[in-house]
């Protein structure tokens, strides 16, 4: 036999024999028969091309080579155990990394979940990507990330999806606006106003447009702005009205009011999305598990819609 074919198992057997000082005892400990162990030792000695023991007055006594092999075996198996520990941590989701891609709007909410998670698992490195719907679709297509957050999921063929948070779209107006304090506002009223809107391709805008289309309506006076933050400031400054995710507004939002427009809020949801064809890193899985369990501790109850555990079940099946 050649040294190349040495297995860790064989070293393990050897170490046990040396420890116990007896072939028979080692065999018992390892749940093997005595001849098996004898033969393993023989193979090992052949591989090393050196006697490992001399039987000296009934005792097995190590030769110099045997002693050195013992040291080597301890070092080697020890080092390998370290590696296995590493793997265990990784698989337990204690360690590792994953990336999550968010649509713009979600960036106001997800930190409330990501923050506590990374406190709880400081060894997990995560990358957060942010973009508009279009950009995220591309990333999804190119399989760049482990988890995606969309309000309107892409083709379900290739993905597992779970809602986790309500995402109501509301109409906001400056406090001084004439409509600001009415009990109820007609849709037509706001369509006459100037509307600050995100670029086409953004989820909020797509959602709003398709909803409008369903109502057989359309707006007249729009103004495009690149970010939700800019829109918020714009509205406060009296530049016009806007349709935004409720989450874009802080809890208290001085200078801005939510108009009670008929048909609003437009209901939608954010979803966690993972590709079916991409292995979910253990760390990413651990994040979803965390989300499934801790979501209600991190986010206001009124928006909760926690279906994450069904996603976990689906991905478990996929992995088995």
Partner DNA sequence: CTCAAACATAGATAATTATCTATACGCAAG
Partner DNA sequence: CTTGCGTATAGATAATTATCTATGTTTGAG
Rounded Cα distance between 173 and 258, Å, is 6
Nearer residue to a copy of itself within complex by CB, 50 or 289: 50
H helices of 197-281, where? 203-214, 228-236
| Minimum distance, C-beta of residue 252 to DNA, in the bound complex (Å) | 50
Determine, following the binding rule CB under 7 A, whether residue 7 of this chain makes contact with DNA: yes
Determine, following the binding rule CB under 7 A, whether residue 34 of this chain makes contact with DNA: yes
Determine, following the binding rule CB under 8 A, whether residue 238 of this chain makes contact with a copy of itself: no
Determine, following the binding rule CB under 7 A, whether residue 31 of this chain makes contact with DNA: yes
DSSP per position, 145-204 = -SEEEESS---GGGEEEEEEEE--EEEEEETTSGGGG-S-B-HHHHHHSEEEEPPTT-HH
Determine, following the binding rule CB under 8 A, whether residue 182 of this chain makes contact with a copy of itself: no
Binding flags for a copy of itself, 41-70, as an x/- string (CB under 8 A): -------xxxx------------xx--xx-
Q: Judged by CB under 8 A, which stretch of 4-12, 196-204, 211-219, 301-309 contacts a copy of itself? A: 4-12
Angle at 193 between CA 190 and CA 198, to 5 degrees: 90
53 binds, among DNA, a copy of itself, none (CB under 5 to 8 A by kind): DNA
Q: Is 140 exposed, middle or buried (0-12, 13-18, 19+ CB in 10 A)?
A: buried
Determine, following the binding rule CB under 8 A, whether residue 39 of this chain makes contact with a copy of itself: no
CB 195 within 8 A of CB 242: yes
Contacts 24+ apart (CB under 8 A), 130-134: 130/101, 130/102, 130/103, 130/104, 131/101, 131/102, 131/103, 131/104, 132/103, 132/104, 132/198, 132/199, 132/201, 132/202, 132/203, 133/103, 133/201, 133/202, 133/203, 133/206, 134/201, 134/202
Phi, psi of 41 (to 5 degrees): -60, -40
Determine, following the binding rule CB under 7 A, whether residue 22 of this chain makes contact with DNA: yes
Nearer residue to DNA within complex by CB, 37 or 179: 37
Nearer residue to DNA within complex by CB, 56 or 301: 56
Nearer residue to a copy of itself within complex by CB, 57 or 254: 57
Nearer residue to a copy of itself within complex by CB, 262 or 279: 279
What is the footprint of DNA within residues 47-86 (CB under 7 A)?
53, 55, 57-58, 60
Closest CA to 204 of 177, 231, 234, 183: 231
Nearer residue to a copy of itself within complex by CB, 3 or 252: 3
| Minimum distance, C-beta of residue 81 to a copy of itself, in the bound complex (Å) | 10
Member of 15, 29, 43, 89 binding DNA (CB under 7 A): 43
State the virtual CA torsion across 277, 127, 314, 302 in degrees, nearest 10: -140
Determine, following the binding rule CB under 7 A, whether residue 191 of this chain makes contact with DNA: no
Rounded Cα distance between 304 and 293, Å, is 12
75 binds, among DNA, a copy of itself, none (CB under 5 to 8 A by kind): a copy of itself
Determine, following the binding rule CB under 8 A, whether residue 6 of this chain makes contact with a copy of itself: yes
CB 269 within 8 A of CB 151: yes
Residues in touch with a copy of itself (CB under 8 A): 3-9, 12, 48-51, 64-65, 68-69, 72, 75-76, 79-80, 82-84, 86-87, 90-91, 96-97, 279
Give contact residues for DNA (rule: CB under 7 A).
Answer: 1-2, 4-5, 7, 9-10, 21-25, 31-36, 38-43, 53, 55, 57-58, 60
């Amino acid at each position: 036999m050649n040294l190349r074919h040495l297995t860790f198992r064989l070293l393990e057997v050897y170490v046990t024999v040396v420890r116990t000082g007896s072939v028979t005892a080692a065999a018992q400990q390892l749940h093997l028969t005595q001849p098996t162990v004898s033969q393993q030792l023989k193979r090992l000695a052949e591989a090393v091309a050196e006697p490992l023991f001399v039987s000296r007055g009934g005792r097995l006594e190590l030769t110099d080579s045997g002693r050195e092999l013992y040291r080597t075996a301890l070092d080697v198996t020890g080092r390998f155990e370290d590696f296995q520990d590493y793997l265990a941590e990784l698989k337990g989701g204690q360690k590792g990394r994953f990336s999550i891609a968010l649509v713009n709007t979600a960036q106001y909410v997800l930190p409330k979940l990501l923050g506590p998670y990374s406190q709880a698992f400081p060894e997990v490195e995560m990358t957060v990507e942010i973009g508009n719907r279009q950009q995220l679709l591309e990333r999804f297509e190119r399989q760049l990330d482990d988890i995606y957050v969309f309000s309107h999921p892409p083709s379900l063929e290739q993905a597992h999806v779970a809602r986790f948070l309500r995402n109501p779209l509301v109409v906001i107006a400056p406090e001084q606006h004439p409509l600001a304090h009415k009990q109820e506002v007609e849709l037509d009223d706001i369509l006459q106003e100037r509307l600050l809107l995100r670029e086409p391709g953004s989820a909020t805008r797509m959602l709003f447009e398709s909803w409008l289309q369903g109502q057989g309506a359309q707006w007249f006076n729009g103004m495009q702005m690149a970010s939700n933050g800019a829109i918020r400031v714009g509205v406060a400054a009296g530049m016009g009205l806007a349709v935004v995710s409720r989450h874009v507004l802080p809890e208290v939002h001085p200078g801005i009011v939510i108009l009670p427009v008929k048909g609003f809020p437009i209901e939608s949801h954010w979803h966690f999305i993972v590709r079916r064809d991409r292995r979910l890193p253990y760390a990413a899985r651990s994040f979803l598990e965390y989300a499934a369990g801790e979501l209600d501790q991190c986010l206001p109850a009124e928006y909760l819609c926690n279906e994450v555990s069904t996603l976990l079940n689906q991905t478990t099946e996929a992995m088995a």
